[in-house]
């Protein structure tokens, strides 16, 4: 067997990658990464028009924008199938979209907590649809879940005190659970040639984040700074492509060393 070159391993030409929340802070950079690596990108948003605009702005041709709301389990399957019909095949699923929660442990209601965990339900439903689709095609598949450093370590209360609500307890519960759902699905789907991995960013605040909080997070970071969205581009292409063909059930943490302390 001839050895693949590094260019071939990272090349996504001929693959179609669905990325949810592709209009967001990190999702838009990761969508560009997938497109730059040669994939046809199926970029989704809850708003179809916004998705279409973002897909049209990606480098390369043939990208498609579609509506998808993983918090509505009764319609998400139809949305997935409609999007699939528009592109013909999907090889990679990046479960990046995320319904956020502003309430920390002091104010969160039971209903809000439960709803937040519903993000995981949506990612699971989509992941299983992708798995069934690629198995039916007898093709390999790659699923990427977005975890977080906060799925691995506790909050850093000092960063938020007096500035904004702390990182939500339901968020920590969700992200920790996603890292473990990754392992569970990877084991069940390994022989189906469907890999499941988790990409866990550390602090990548958008411009909208409170400056005082960002400053405090920087003092806690071993690298002394926040992550830039483009610093996830290499990792997402790695996980989506044959460059990670023997990797499944793992959590890849990109956090400037936050969890290394």
Ligand X SMILES: NC(=O)c1ccc[n+]([C@@H]2O[C@H](COP(=O)([O-])OP(=O)(O)OC[C@H]3O[C@@H](n4cnc5c(N)ncnc54)[C@H](OP(=O)(O)O)[C@@H]3O)[C@@H](O)[C@H]2O)c1
For ligand X, the binding residues (CB under 6 A) are 20-21, 23-27, 45-47, 50, 68-71, 96-100, 146, 148, 201, 203-206
Residue nearest to ligand X (CB): 24
Nearest in space to 213 (alpha carbons), one of 173, 158, 131, 250: 158
**CB-wise, 24 or 249, nearer to ligand X?**
24
**CB-wise, 186 or 232, nearer to ligand X?**
232
The helix or strand, by DSSP H or E, that contains position 98, with its residue range, turns out to be: none
The residue to which tokens 């039971």 are assigned: 110
User: What count of other Cβ atoms lies within 10 Å of the Cβ of residue 125?
Assistant: 15
CB of 119 to ligand X, least distance (A): 7
Residue 15, helix vs strand vs coil:
coil
Sign of the alpha-carbon dihedral angle for 86, 23, 93, 47: negative
Q: Are 204 and 232 in contact, with CB atoms under 8 Å apart?
A: yes
**How many angstroms separate the CA atoms of 30 and 74, rounded?**
28
Q: Are 243 and 201 in contact, with CB atoms under 8 Å apart?
A: no
The residue to which tokens 């189906």 are assigned: 192
Residue 84 token pair: 């699939």
CB of 13 to ligand X, least distance (A): 26
**CB-wise, 26 or 58, nearer to ligand X?**
26
246 classed as catalytic: no
CB of 74 to ligand X, least distance (A): 13
CB of 1 to ligand X, least distance (A): 37
**CB-wise, 141 or 203, nearer to ligand X?**
203
Catalytic residue among 156, 160, 171, 188: 171
Active site residues: 171
């Amino acid at each position: 067997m001839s050895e693949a070159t590094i260019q071939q391993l990272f090349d996504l030409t001929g693959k179609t990658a669905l990325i949810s929340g592709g209009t967001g802070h990190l999702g838009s950079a990761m969508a560009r990464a997938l497109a730059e690596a040669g994939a046809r990108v199926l970029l989704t948003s809850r708003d179809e028009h916004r998705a279409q605009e973002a897909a049209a702005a990606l480098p390369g041709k043939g990208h498609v924008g579609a509506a998808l709301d993983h918090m509505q389990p009764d319609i998400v399957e139809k949305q997935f199938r409609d999007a699939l019909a528009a592109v013909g095949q999907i090889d990679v699923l990046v479960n990046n979209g995320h319904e956020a929660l502003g309430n920390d442990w002091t104010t969160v209601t039971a209903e809000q907590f439960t709803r937040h965990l519903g993000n995981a339900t949506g990612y699971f439903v989509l992941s299983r649809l992708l798995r069934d689709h690629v198995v039916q095609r007898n093709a390999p598949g790659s699923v990427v879940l977005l975890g977080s450093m906060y799925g691995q370590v506790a909050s850093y209360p000092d960063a938020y005190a007096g500035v904004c609500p702390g990182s939500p307890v339901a968020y920590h519960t969700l992200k920790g659970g996603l890292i473990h759902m990754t392992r569970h699905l990877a084991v069940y789907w390994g022989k189906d040639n469907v890999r499941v991995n988790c990409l866990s960013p550390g602090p990548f605040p958008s411009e909208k984040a409170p400056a005082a909080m960002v400053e405090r997070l920087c003092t806690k970071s071993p690298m002394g700074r926040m992550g830039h969205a483009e610093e996830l581009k290499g990792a997402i292409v790695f996980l989506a492509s044959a460059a990670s063909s023997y990797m499944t059930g793992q959590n890849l943490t990109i956090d400037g060393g936050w969890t290394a302390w």
